[in-house]
Structure formats: C-alpha cells, structure tokens
Amino acid sequence: MSDIKKLQECISQFTEERDWDQFHNGKDLAIALSLEASELLENFLWKSPNDANLEKIKEELADVINYAFLIASKYDLDITQIVLDKLKKNAEKYPIHKAKGSAKKYTEL
Ligand SMILES: [Mg+2]
C-alpha cells in the first residue's frame, strides 16, 4: 500500500471513530477545505511572506490536506491518479518552451 493510501486510511479512520462521516457530504467538506485554506492565508495577512509563523502554517496546511483527502475518499478517488492526471493536463496547458520562467496564465502564453 502506498504512503498516500495509508495516510488516506488514517484520516478516514479518525473520522469513522468519531462517527463524523454523517456530517461529511461533498459540499460541506469542500466548504471546510476552503475555510481551512483561509486560515492558512490568515497567517500571511499584513506580513511579509517570511514573517509567517511556520508552526501555524504547518497546522493549517495539514487541515487543508486532511479535507482534500476526505473529499477524495468521499468520491472514491485515487489521489495519486487524479494528481498525475491534472499534472498531465497542466503540462499540456503550460508547455515548457512557452511557460518556463513565466508567471503568465496559459491563456496569455
Ligand atoms: Mg485550521
């Protein structure tokens, strides 16, 4: 079993042990992920990027990842596969010869 699958199972087990799956529909999980992403952002607000508290960043990033994994579990998605599929799409949108060193959106390359 891959490390990602093991991690996904640990997160699902945490939820099952607390009988929280009843609250975890796709919509509310997506909202929770967005809220945790906002908590991550809050650590950077009114500061230069290097002044953000790394411990708090780790915690909020872990919250975001936890919800991302729960969404993947909810829809029975293979995390490795969907990430690789999206990287392939992004590689097509952002070919190296056009995108290297550029921060432009693919529509403007
Ligand atoms: Mg949080």
Domain that holds residue 106: 78-109
Cα angle 93, 78, 76 (rounded to 5 degrees) comes to 120
In terms of DSSP H, where are the helices of the chain? 3-17, 26-42, 54-74, 79-93, 96-99
State whether 61 and 23 are in the same domain: yes
Provide the mean pLDDT of the chain: 96
Instruction: Give the distance (Å) from ligand 1 centre to CA of residue 102.
Output: 32
Instruction: Give the distance (Å) from ligand 1 centre to CA of residue 94.
Output: 32
0.85 exceeded by pTM: yes
| Confidence at residue 46, expressed as pLDDT on a 0 to 100 scale | 97
Report the alpha-carbon distance of residue 49 to residue 87 in Å, rounded: 26
Dump pLDDT digits (tens) for 17-54.
Answer: 999 999 999 999 999 999 999 999 999 999 999 999 99
Number of domains comprising the chain = 2
| Confidence at residue 1, expressed as pLDDT on a 0 to 100 scale | 84
Report the alpha-carbon distance of residue 1 to residue 84 in Å, rounded: 18
Pair of tokens at residue 68:
């991302």
Instruction: Give the distance (Å) from ligand 1 centre to CA of residue 22.
Output: 20
State whether 34 and 17 are in the same domain: yes
Instruction: Give the distance (Å) from ligand 1 centre to CA of residue 103.
Output: 29
Report the alpha-carbon distance of residue 6 to residue 10 in Å, rounded: 6
Instruction: Give the distance (Å) from ligand 1 centre to CA of residue 59.
Output: 7
State whether 26 and 72 are in the same domain: yes
CATH of the domain at 5: 1.10.287.1080
